[in-house]
Structure 1
């Protein structure tokens, strides 16, 4: 089963996670989240990023 990785490829930490997964052969499913359009603060992501929601 693939791990779900929520990323925005314009966000450097997201790219670092993707590179880590590729280098280490970790099976993952990439789910795009557009941070520039504040998609990361949508209610469906509250459980994943509680700190960002409160900003």
Structure 2
């Protein structure tokens, strides 16, 4: 299972604070999840727009 951030992302930063391994990176218009992700799901739980989904 892997996660991706969809275009519903409003770049609020909730996922950045929730990620214990700093696997979420800020882009110009959207955040992305890099290969450091341990698939713990912390970011999914914190996202207010449900923009983080399983790939």
Q: TM-score range by the shorter chain?
A: under 0.3
Does 1 or 2 have the higher relative contact order (CA < 8 Å, sep 6+)?
A: 2
Structure-1-length-normalised TM-score: 0.26
Structure-2-length-normalised TM-score: 0.26
